Amino acid sequence: MISKIVEKAINEQITKEEDSSRLYLSMASWAERNGFPGAANWLYVQAEEERVHMLKLVHYLNDREGAAIIPALEAPVSKFKSLLEVFHEVLKHEEFISASINDLFAACNKEKDFSSANYLQWYITEQIEEEHNARNILDQIKLAGTHEGGMFLMDKEFASMASAKRASLAQSGGANAVT
């Protein structure tokens, strides 16, 4: 059985993961409307991945005899000035999620819920990768600059990255891999 403190903390993380999915969905829609189909594709896949992260936590909490609560959500930000701003926000958001996962891990350890702390190791590793990817993308966008040719090539790179990410998500079972 899971403690009420850890249950509450995991439910808070469920909300944050769902917020992440919706934020990336909003960003994807912006990118699609503004001529960046490759970036939109990458962000759509990212939105799906964040939903999978949420579902994993829902199943975990229910399996541990807790009660996963599906939250009401506010509309995410939907207006951006540039693709560079979008990915600054991606990095900022991933850093926020990393801190949240670390706080959840600390709460599990404080409650001596070592099973949940162990379960969260996957999320900690995932966040290292997410921050790394966001920083690399920002570096590439900065290198491309505002030149149309550079942004066109960067968008093509996004399409390739989205295909690889989608294949990885499918191979892991996507939403089917959450149990």
Give tens-digit pLDDT for 128-139: 999 999 999 999
CA distance 57 to 78: 26
Residue 31 token pair: 């990118």
- Judge whether residue 73 has pLDDT over 70: yes
pLDDT reading at 71 higher than 90: no
What's residue 133's pLDDT?
93
Residue for token pair 């920083």: 135
Express each pLDDT in 14-66 by its tens digit.
999 999 999 999 999 999 999 999 999 999 999 999 999 999 999 999 999 99
Instruction: For the chain, give every domain's residue range.
Output: 4-177
pLDDT for the residue 178: 46
Between CA 88 and CA 109 the distance in angstroms is 32
Taking the C-alpha atoms of residue 38 and residue 44, their distance in angstroms, rounded to an integer, is 10
The pLDDT, as a whole number, for residue 157 is: 75
| DSSP states along 105-142 | HHHHHHTT-HHHHHHHHHHHHHHHHHHHHHHHHHHHHH
Q: Check residue 155 and give its pLDDT.
A: 72
Q: Token pair of 43, please? A: 């962000």
Which band of pLDDT confidence, cut at 50, 70 and 90, is reported for residue 80? very high
CA 152 to chain centre: 25
pLDDT in tens, 159-179: 777 777 777 777 766 555 544
**What does 13-79 look like in DSSP terms, one character per residue?**
HHHHHHHHHHHHHHHHHHHHHTT-HHHHHHHHHHHHHHHHHHHHHHHHHHHTT----PPP-PPPP--
Res 62: pLDDT: 97
Give the pTM: 0.88
Considering only the C-alpha atoms of the chain, give the largest distance between any 2 of them, rounded to a whole number of Å: 57
Q: How far apart are the first and last CA of the chain?
A: 18
- Quote the percentage of the chain above a pLDDT of 70: 96
Query: Among 3.40.1830.10, 3.20.20.300, 1.20.1260.10, 3.30.420.40, what is the CATH number of 4-177?
Result: 1.20.1260.10
Average pLDDT over the chain reads 90
Backbone CA torsion sign across 14, 19, 20, 21:
positive
pLDDT at res. 174: 59
Structure tokens at 13: 């993380």
Please give the Cα distance from 169 to 52 (Å, whole number).
Answer: 9
